[in-house]
Amino acid sequence: MTFRSSSLRLAAFSALAVAVGAVTAPGASAQQRNCIDVLAGMNEFSRFVGGVVRARAVADFRNANAITIFAPTNDALAGGARSVLIDRLFPLVDGNREADPVLAPAAFQAHVVQGRHGSAELGQVSELATAAGTPLRFSMANNVLTVAGQGEASARVTRADIPCSNGVIHAIDAPLIR
């Protein structure tokens, strides 16, 4: 679904934020909010959070303890990559998009690893397993951290070490699945 106007986009994002519980007490810091609520409070991740909601995986993200999320930004999920992923993870069923009960949650789990892993640490490890059981490989070159998923999926960390109460988030410039 593509929103054509800013007001519709803002209204939809506001409704999404309420749906995942991102509305917190005034002055609440990111360290006091869990990772999914922090993501929902950041407009640049609204597509990723929307997918988590549609995949019915919010509770998994909210209840997880000590996780690292590699969250694709809205720009990373735009264009051709977005349409392929939408068609695969949320196929049309009787004219409505329904979450594939196996693929959709697994796709989001492919962006999560167990443990709080800051960017400095990730630049020194070679590989970690995702919650979906697939490997992520890490490399650091010219102070840019790159994450490689299965196949040809690869992304650069564009914003590192976003804190949250149950882990840490790293913004990436491409999804880690193809």
Task: Give the CATH number for residue 136.
Answer: 2.30.180.10
Q: How many domains are there within the chain?
A: 1
Dihedral pair phi/psi, residue 135, rounded to 5°: -80, 145
> In the chain, pLDDT over 70 holds for what percent of residues?
80
**34 falls within a domain:** yes
pLDDT value at residue 39: 97
**178 falls within a domain:** no
More confident of the two residues 127 and 26: 127
Is 0.85 topped by the overall pTM?
A: no
**Cβ atoms 50, 57 nearer than 8 A:** no
**37 falls within a domain:** yes
Please report which confidence band the pLDDT of residue 29 belongs to, taking 50, 70 and 90 as the band edges.
low
| Neighbour tally for 142: CB within 10 Å | 4
**30 falls within a domain:** yes
Asked whether the predicted pLDDT for residue 155 surpasses 50, the reply is yes
Region 42-63: mean pLDDT is: 92
Q: How far is residue 11's CA from residue 46's CA, in Å, rounded to a whole number?
A: 12
**Termini Cα distance of the chain:** 20
**27 falls within a domain:** yes
Which residue range is the domain that position 35 belongs to? 6-172
Q: Which among 156, 139, 6 has a CA at the least distance from the CA of 73? A: 156
pLDDT value at residue 20: 46
**177 falls within a domain:** no
Q: How far is residue 121's CA from residue 168's CA, in Å, rounded to a whole number?
A: 12
**1 falls within a domain:** no
pLDDT value at residue 24: 42
**113 falls within a domain:** yes
